[in-house]
């Protein structure tokens, strides 16, 4: 996702996150720009897939 779609996100500078000066979280959403980055189709409808098999082994991406 492009961070330009979320104006007001904290900036990473000098190894630290710097918040903006607006009250609250101060993060907005540019809906027109965000529409250019649709959520990909996923067999789990956006849910996290299983990360372990029945035998306890990890599922590799």
pLDDT at 54: 84
User: What is the length of the chain?
Assistant: 61
Number of domains in the chain: 1
List the structure tokens of 56. Answer: 């306890």
Max Cα distance, the chain (Å): 50
Block means of pLDDT (10 residues each) for the chain, 61 residues, are: 82 91 88 86 68 83 68
Q: 26 and 8 in contact (C-beta within 8 Å)?
A: yes
pLDDT at 18: 92
The position carrying tokens 């492009």 is 2
pLDDT at 53: 83
pLDDT at 40: 73
């Amino acid at each position: 996702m492009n961070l330009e779609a979320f104006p007001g996100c904290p900036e990473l500078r000098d190894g630290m996150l710097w918040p903006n000066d607006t009250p609250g979280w101060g993060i907005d959403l540019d809906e027109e720009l965000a529409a250019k980055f649709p959520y990909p189709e996923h067999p789990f409808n956006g849910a996290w897939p299983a990360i372990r098999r029945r035998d306890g082994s990890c599922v590799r991406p």
